[in-house]
């Protein structure tokens, strides 16, 4: 397995843990959990497509998050029943909010910046080590 996939997998699982934890305490604002959800989607795409350009991963992640959010406008009986399950509640959400769109966008751009800082540092370290 590729080292970057292992790193993204560990981060993915950590974000899931933090996201669930953020919903269990009232001290954390709800938008933090929504941002973590978007970060999780970004990392999931990175696990499957570690060598794709960051701009593609951002578009795939935002598209996925936005589609799931707009899907919350659909109120079919079967969808309402699915949302009553733990899976449906965590993955599909309960109701459409424009603030969730903002939180998703913020979360994805936050993880993108973090990734760029880490990758830039990692690339620098790799180059420096090989020059010696």
Q: What is the pLDDT of residue 18?
A: 93
Buried b / exposed e across 43-53, counting CB within 10 Å, b at 16+? bbbbbeeeeee
Q: Which residues contact 5 (CB under 8 A, 6 or more apart)?
A: 47, 50
Return the closest-CA partner of residue 95 out of 70, 66, 78.
Answer: 70
| H/E run at residue 91 | helix 86-92
Return the closest-CA partner of residue 40 out of 97, 118, 131, 111.
Answer: 111
Q: What is the pLDDT of residue 87?
A: 83
Tokens 């699915």 locate to 82
d(CA 19, CA 36): 6
Return the closest-CA partner of residue 44 out of 90, 9, 92, 93.
Answer: 9
Token reading at 128: 């420096």
Mean pLDDT per segment of 10 residues, for the chain of length 132 residues? Answer: 81 93 87 94 94 92 96 90 86 88 96 85 52 48
């Amino acid at each position: 397995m590729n080292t970057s996939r292992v790193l993204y997998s560990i981060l993915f699982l950590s974000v899931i843990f933090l996201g669930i934890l953020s919903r269990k305490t009232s001290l954390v604002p709800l938008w933090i959990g929504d941002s973590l959800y978007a970060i999780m989607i970004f990392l999931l795409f990175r696990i499957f497509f570690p060598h794709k350009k960051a701009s593609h991963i951002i578009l795939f992640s935002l598209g996925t998050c936005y589609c799931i959010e707009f899907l919350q406008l659909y109120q079919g009986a079967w969808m309402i029943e699915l949302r009553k399950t733990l899976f449906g509640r965590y993955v599909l959400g309960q109701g459409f909010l424009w603030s969730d769109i903002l939180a998703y966008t913020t979360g994805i751009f936050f993880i993108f910046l973090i990734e760029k800082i880490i990758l830039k540092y990692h690339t620098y370290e790799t180059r420096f080590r090989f020059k010696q």
